[in-house]
Amino acid sequence: MGAAGALVVYRFQMDENSSPLRWLGDRLEMLDQRLLPRRIDWISFTDAASVASAITTMVVRGAPAIGVAAAYGLALEARLAVMRGTPVRDALVPAAEILRRSRPTAVNLAWAVDRMMRAFDGLESLEPAAIAERLAAEACAIHAEDIEGNKRMGAFGAGLLPASSTVLTHCNAGALATGGYGTALGVIRAARDAGKTIAVFADETRPYLQGSRLTAWELQRDGIDVTVITDSMAGHFFSKGTFDAVIVGADRIAANGDAANKIGTYAVAVLANAHGVPFYVAAPLSTIDPDCATGAAIPIEERSANEVVETRGIGPDGKAASVVTAPDGVRVRHPAFDVTPARLITAIVTERGVLRPPYDAAIAALFQEKR
């Protein structure tokens, strides 16, 4: 820890391919995921409100990644308070609220904000500069633990995939959606690294296209065989026996194992079930919300109608462009997530092992052990 009054720079930086976030001690850099796959642009952040706005506008997305970003947002805010000479608590309390509200479904966000605020409660007797340094170190620890947890999850999950298999995934649960390495895609990476031959089908994931823009991009860069299909093609490939397994991430898992994930996941789970294909969810403990008894209690984000009636992309000039695909004024709904009931989930892969039904007992045991 540095002397009181002087801010020490803690750096946490992963290889560009592996993490969408870089902590540079006095600022946070985030890969602008809205511009992928065309452009690799990093944006700098120095305060919590702009980190919260980046979470809302999807510069950064994916449950664990937004949690890590929020933790860094609070570290930045503490740093600003030290530089302004104002009480750290006065800066952190409203910043925590803004970050917590930036997206509603993924519980990792509230989990990370709560962990940072608990750390702060234990530090309040220190000099402000020391508090800011310790909060930066705590955010870096959250980031590093997420990556380590994903690697452990990968090792547990790799054993579930046959030696030569074709796997369907939905949305993006890869390095881009996490601190690094990925949850569902981490399992695929670990299986490949263990010598298995894995081919991936990526649902394009309408309307935001995380599957075609992000999953295809990161798997291609990692040398993993990937094929993009539209969401509506999945049933056809199930009927042809193409898939050996489905693996997806999650944004919030209820105490009974019901899992919220990107809209369209439930339809994939129903198809998997109808065709006898195992349906796996890979998620860290920070995604499990023991305070949500069932999936019915999980808040589902409703996003803008524009994302449904306009297809957004990046033109060859590298600039965002959109085309209108529905008549002006038409009524639109846009729930961004759905809930897959626990009965459709074959197993939940966590960094502490593979959970099998009944999930209420498995999850309760996990949280009991943790205490």
Q: Which is nearer to ligand MRU, 107 or 116 (CB)?
A: 107
Whether residue 251 lies in the annotated active site: yes
Closer residue to ligand MRU (CB): 89 or 151: 151
DSSP string for 18-57:
T-SEEE-SS-EEEE-GGGTTT---EEEE-SHHHHHHHHHT
Closer CB to ligand MRU, residue 30 or residue 106? 106
Q: Which of 32, 146, 203, 251 does the annotation list as catalytic?
A: 251
Min CB(262)–ligand MRU separation in Å: 3
Q: How far is the CB of 243 from ligand MRU (least distance, A)?
A: 18
Residue 299 and residue 368 in contact, taking contact as beta carbons nearer than 8 Å: no
- The amino acid sitting at 228 is V
Rounded to the nearest 5°, which phi and psi values hold at 263?
-50, 135
Query: In the chain, which ranges are E strands?
Result: 12-13, 21-23, 28-31, 42-45, 164-169, 197-203, 225-229, 245-248, 252-254, 259-262, 279-282, 288-289, 310-314, 320-324, 337-340, 347-350, 353-355
Contact residues: ligand MRU, CB under 6 A: 61-64, 106, 171, 173, 177-178, 183, 210, 249-251, 261-262, 336
CA dist., res. 66 & res. 286, Å (int)? 12
- CB-nearer residue toward ligand MRU: 66 or 123: 66
- Give the HSE-up count for residue 208: Cα atoms under 13 Å, Cβ half-sphere: 26
Determine the Cα–Cα distance for residues 371 and 366; give it in Å rounded to an integer.
9
Q: Pick between residue 238 and residue 337 the one whose CB is nearest to ligand MRU.
A: 337
Q: How far is the CB of 248 from ligand MRU (least distance, A)?
A: 6
Distance CA 112, CA 314 (A): 32
CB neighbourhood size of 270 (10 A): 15
Q: How far is the CB of 319 from ligand MRU (least distance, A)?
A: 22
The residue sitting closest to ligand MRU, measured at its beta carbon, is: 249
Residue 210 beta carbon to ligand MRU: minimum distance, rounded to whole angstroms: 5
Q: How far is the CB of 191 from ligand MRU (least distance, A)?
A: 17
Task: List, in order, residues 6 or more apart from 273 with CB less than 8 Å away.
Answer: 279, 344
181 vs 243 by CB, closer to ligand MRU: 181
Catalytic residues: 251
